[in-house]
Amino acid sequence: MASPPLYVYAVVNAGLALPPGLRGVGRPPVPVRLLPAGELAAVVSDVPPDLRARRRDLTGHQELLLALCAAAPVLPMRFGMVADGAGTVRRALDAAAPAHLATLERLDRRTEMNLKAMPAQDGVAALVRDDPAVRRLAADVRRRPSYEGNVRLGSAIAEGLARRAAQAADGVAQELAALADERVQGAEVPGCVLNTSYLLPRAQAERCRELVDRRAAELRDRVELRLTGPLPCYSFVPVEGSRVAAGAAPRPAVVRS
């Protein structure tokens, strides 16, 4: 008889003791357990009925991973990873054990912090003051108002704000890189001039936040900085590890609130 499918949250070292009271996705949240395979184990649960990417389940998945990360290195799975059964999970872990063990060692006592930077929307006055070309264009539009002139001015302002924000954010990014072991550029995000994730020792997380808070205040007329974390180290796990490390595949889900 085939074993039932399993929801897979993460891969961890086999010796990990799960934090007490840990629960996963679903309503009510399902209990989670370890499925050992040699030196590794998968954190799994039964698949809740009617699995969907509801906000409560996305939050539950994330909170479970954060609780695990506070206790041990974790190879996190994206939301909705479902494996055919325990045998599939164990075979996948056995086949990829050396790579997964190396990744877990690299992530030990580390966390991910993500920095996004956007142009400061209240920085127009500072841009006009500091940029002669924009200042001249604004003066021309005031003297000879026209649709074309307004379009050119709007474009120049948007480009100028983005340029100033990118220059300011690059300096902050370099400072954070000095605290981090690794960094990776994230996908382009509409409205952002920077999207970078940092892998750094957990002990540096508060220093990272203090640095960004200080620089955000100093650069508020140029850039808006948003630091998110600590996060599960998704950005520093090989793609094949984050998707199919335990023989799991993402199950299509409808996003609901």
Q: How many CB atoms lie within 10 A of CB 238?
A: 13
Task: Tell me how far CA of residue 47 lies from CA of 51, 52, 115, 257, in angstroms.
Answer: 7, 11, 33, 20
Q: How many CB atoms lie within 10 A of CB 97?
A: 15
For 154-202, how does the pLDDT look when each residue is reduced to its tens digit (9 = 90+)?
Answer: 777 788 788 889 999 999 999 999 999 999 999 999 989 999 999 999 9
Task: Sort strands 81-83 and 248-250 into parallel, antiparallel or unpaired.
Answer: antiparallel
Strand partners, 54: 256
pLDDT at 253: 39
Q: Quick check: pTM over 0.85? A: no
Domain boundaries, the chain: 6-108+237-256
Q: Position 203: which residue type?
A: A
Mean pLDDT estimate for the chain: 86
